[in-house]
Amino acid sequence: MSEEYALPAETAEEELLALIDKLNRRDDIHGILVQLPLPEHIDSEKVLLAIDYRKDVDAFHPVNVGKIMIGSFDFLPCTPAGVMELIRLTGIDVTGKECVVVGRSNIVGKPMAMLLLHQNGTVTVCHSKTKNLAEVCRRADILVAAVGKANFITADMVKPGAVVIDVGMNRVDGKLCGDVKFDEVSEVASAITPVPGGVGPMTIAMLMKNTVKAAGLRLK
């Protein structure tokens, strides 16, 4: 069972924090997720800090982020965890692979790089200041696009036979599309995820996995 609190955009920060505190104290609530981004008048960092880290099923609380850094974690950020599950299910061994993550957000890019590193990948994180971006991307055996720009990754940026994972979620002319120009990159890559229908469903599945784990931890 889940509960949804659809608060209006003008909700005061204090009201949201009070709701989180109430949910923190409820024994029948095992996971709390705050949909980001929040309105500008609300401090997102303060809100994330307010969530009990044992119920932080998004794994955004600094305690959980720190645990991910050292490799001793309870929860993983849902989208990067979904990407890793996709890689695992295809039988691809990350060990020794050149892995390139395009995007350095706290939600996807940074934790994605860390999870690939934990699996013994050689990881490069690219961002808006990266020089020779296309050249760096072409080195990748595993390329993860999480930049938030529609059709940003083109075929000439992809190494033949690379695994390409598209985390982007953009709208162009009312239609969902990813960060990867799918039609042309699919001709070069050995495996590629579509948008929609690729990483998105895995993100939801990982959220449920985290919630089940959070419930189990509270029963110990």
CATH code of the domain covering residue 134: 3.40.50.720
Domain co-membership, 88 together with 43: no
What's the CA gap between 100 and 179, in Å, rounded?
14
Say what the pLDDT of residue 52 is.
97
Domain co-membership, 115 together with 183: yes
Domain co-membership, 155 together with 183: yes
What's the CA gap between 171 and 174, in Å, rounded?
6
Percent of the chain residues past pLDDT 70, beyond the cut: 100
Number of domains in the chain: 2
Domain co-membership, 87 together with 193: yes
Q: Is there a domain that residue 131 lies in?
A: yes
Domain co-membership, 93 together with 52: no
CB 218, CB 54: distance < 8 Å: yes
Q: Is there a domain that residue 214 lies in?
A: no
Domain co-membership, 83 together with 184: yes
Q: Is there a domain that residue 47 lies in?
A: yes
Q: Is there a domain that residue 208 lies in?
A: no
pLDDT beneath 70, residues of the chain: 220
CB 195, CB 153: distance < 8 Å: no
Which letter does DSSP use for residue 55 in this model? G
Per DSSP, the residues of 8-19 read -TT--HHHHHHH
Unique residue bearing structure tokens 């940074």: 110
Exposed/middle/buried for residue 116 (C-beta within 10 Å: 0-12, 13-18, 19+)? buried
pTM: 0.92
Say what the pLDDT of residue 169 is.
93
Domain co-membership, 118 together with 167: yes
First CA to last CA distance, the chain: 21
Domain co-membership, 22 together with 117: no
Domain co-membership, 86 together with 163: yes
Q: Is there a domain that residue 220 lies in?
A: no
Q: Provide the CATH number for the domain around residue 19.
A: 3.40.50.10860
Say what the pLDDT of residue 200 is.
95
Say what the pLDDT of residue 27 is.
94
Domain co-membership, 128 together with 167: yes
| 53, 55, 60, 61 alpha-carbon torsion, rounded to 10° | -10
CB contact set of 133 (below 8 Å; sequence gap of 6+): 102, 126, 157
Exposed/middle/buried for residue 51 (C-beta within 10 Å: 0-12, 13-18, 19+)? buried
Q: Is there a domain that residue 52 lies in?
A: yes
Say what the pLDDT of residue 1 is.
79
CB 119, CB 102: distance < 8 Å: no
Say what the pLDDT of residue 218 is.
81
Domain co-membership, 40 together with 88: no
Structural domain range at position 58? 1-65
Say what the pLDDT of residue 219 is.
78
